[in-house]
A and B are shown apart, each in its own frame.
Chain A
Amino acid sequence: MNLHDIEAFVAVAEAGSVNRAAARLNLTQPATTRRIQNFEAAIGGAPLFNRAVKPAALTSLGNHVLERCRRVLTAVAELEACTARAADPAGDLKAGVAHGLGDMVMTSPLDALRRTFPRIRLQISSNWSTDLIEDVRSGGLDCAVGLLTAAHTIPAGLAGIALGAEQVVIVAPARLPAKPGRQPWRLRDLADKDWFLNPPGCGCRTAW
């Protein structure tokens, strides 16, 4: 039984598909499948997934094993955090940044991180804040910087560290003529305008 196989099992169970787990693990789909098969063999050959249904679901044994595997990974993470090598970590750090925040939150930290941790390779992706929270929760990302409003909640097991106050604003073409008398715009004035927004079914209608 090895740790990589355990990681693969947890990733497939949490991601709900081998393909998504493979992307999270930076592996091919066949390599991920092999790790699951290795792990199943290591625990005695009993199936952890019911492959007769689509998508494959955890068996009752799979659910039982998953909880214990999570504990193993947590214990290993804690062990790694307190070893001498923790001061100079190496590997791929997967980070997410909310759409529109990239330059603002990345430029200064990127230089500092590259200087201070030369053995770290950053993999940075961009997404909407709600999806970023979910990706950190599921382990797909190591951390993320989101733009959170009162509509967002941070689930148990995660922490949010405020980096600064921001404001979500209405954006218009620079050529939009000023309101007569240079009065401030009211929401009522915008009723005849067209809006370009994200589709409602893309995972987060409550906030972006």
Chain B
Amino acid sequence: MRLPNRLVKAFDRLQLPLHIAAEVFGEDLQLSLLIQSGGLGFGAAAAVRAQPTPSGVAILEVPDFVLPATVTLIRSVTPGRFDPVIDCWCATSPPS
């Protein structure tokens, strides 16, 4: 996952260095490197929990680093021909 400013700021506050082993574009490759090399990364909690077992990754509970997020559907406010489809998508999305 991308580097949240929150992480940089949190390490700055603690006056600790942040060791970036690799900056990798692409989530699959990031997780693969993480599993093989023993590093850390980011993920959406539900997505990590939904991984097949054993997936090789686990959530690390870190109470002093909590980053709430919202799964959000983004659409134009201008009415369009796909509105019924997008409305259906919203209505059938499972609550996370």
Contacts and interface: CB of A to CB of B under 8 A. Distances in A.
A170 B18 contact: no
Contact of B85 (A89, A133, A171, A184): A89
A109 B48 CA distance: 20
Contact of A193 (B1, B14, B19, B33): B19
Interface stretch (A4-12, A14-22, A31-39, A98-106): A98-106
A208 B13 CA distance: 21
Contacts of B33: 196
Contact of B40 (A85, A113, A196, A200): A196
A150 to B, nearest CB: 8
B75 A194 contact: no
Contacts of B45: 166-169
Nearest to B17: A191
A187 B11 contact: yes
B69 A167 contact: yes
Contact of B70 (A109, A117, A164, A187): A164
Given A117-B84, A200-B3, A157 B78 contact: yes
Contacts, number: 331
Given A169-B59, A191-B16, A198-B23, A113 B89 contact: yes
Given A143-B82, A161-B75, A174 B57 contact: yes
A78 B70 contact: no
Given A165-B68, A193-B19, A172 B57 contact: yes
Interface in A131-181: 132-133, 136, 142-151, 154, 157-176
Contacts of A133: 74
Contact of B93 (A86, A105, A199, A208): A105
Contacts of A54: none
Interface string B69-90: 1111111111111111110111
Which of B4, B48, B90 has its CB near the most chain A CB atoms (within 10 A)? B4
Given A166-B71, A199-B24, 13 more contacts: A81-B80, A108-B92, A142-B76, A145-B93, A163-B73, A166-B68, A166-B70, A168-B68, A170-B41, A171-B59, A172-B57, A176-B60, A196-B31
24 contacts: A78-B79, A81-B79, A99-B1, A104-B94, A109-B89, A109-B93, A128-B2, A143-B73, A148-B70, A160-B73, A161-B90, A166-B71, A168-B42, A169-B48, A170-B42, A170-B60, A172-B58, A173-B57, A173-B58, A184-B63, A191-B19, A196-B20, A198-B24, A200-B3
Interface of B: 1-6, 10-11, 14, 16-25, 27, 30-31, 33-35, 37-48, 50, 54-86, 88-96
